[in-house]
Structure 1
Amino acid sequence: MKKEFRIKKNNDFQAAFKRGRSFANRQFVVYSLEKEEQDFFRIGLSVSKKLGNAVTRNRIKRYVRQAILELQDQLALGNDYVIIARKPASEMDFFEVKKSLTHVLKVGKVLKKNNF
């Protein structure tokens, strides 16, 4: 995922937390903040140290980034998304992470329907 599509600044994270909508399932919490002036979506990831060591946390982040990359055609543009991983995400493989993220994004109504 390109750097311009990532949220890195604390102010951007705080804006999503304060003004964005949140939706969750057991594995992930997603905050979505609409931005009309933005033509693309941005992703911010938060994985707590409580979930495991650096290897585990980085694996979760890789899985989430890859899942978002595969779902990017269906995601609503013009939004900032902050994804927070919860404890059960540390024991999941990639396909479970993608399925769980798809579910939580559908709950939040930010994932377009597949027309295949």
Structure 2
Amino acid sequence: MNKRQRIKKNEEFQKVFKKGKSFANRQFVVYCLKKEEQAEFRIGLSVSKKIGKAVTRNQIKRYIRQTFLELKEEVRQDMDYVIIARNQAATLDFHETKKSLEHVLKIAKVLKKKQLERE
């Protein structure tokens, strides 16, 4: 993921929280905000210190970024996503993280049909 695809500023996070819609499962909460003028999606990550030490938090963030990299073609491009990891996310390996995130993105209806038909 390159820097253009990341949400970093607090104002941008707040805008997604206030104006976007949220979808959740046991491991993740995903906020989605449609941005018409945007060519490619952006993601912001939030992993609380309650989840674990820095190593654990960074690992969760790496898993989420890699999942979005692999789902790049299926995910809607004109959106901002903020992903908040819940406590149970710390127990997941990469494949479980990907499956869980795909589940939340399906609920949010932001994955293209091609992905849904494959499963």
TM-score normalised per structure 1: 0.98
Mapping for residues 32-111 of structure 1, pairs under 5 Å? 32-111=32-111
Cα distance in 1 for residues equivalent to 2:78 and 2:12: 14
Off by >4 Å, runs of 4+ in structure 1: none
3-state secondary structure, aligned to 1:49:
coil
How far 1:113 sits from its partner (Å)? 2.0
Number of residue pairs matched?
116
One-letter amino acid of the structure 2 residue matched with residue 108 of structure 1: A
> Unpaired segments of 5 or more residues in structure 1?
none
One-letter amino acid of the structure 2 residue matched with residue 103 of structure 1: H
> Unpaired segments of 5 or more residues in structure 2?
none
Cα distance in 1 for residues equivalent to 2:96 and 2:108: 18
Over the aligned positions, Cα root-mean-square deviation in angstroms equals 0.8
Could you tell me the percent identity over the aligned residues?
66
* 1:73-107 per-position Cα deviation (integer Å, ceiling 9, x unaligned): 00001100000000000010000000000000000
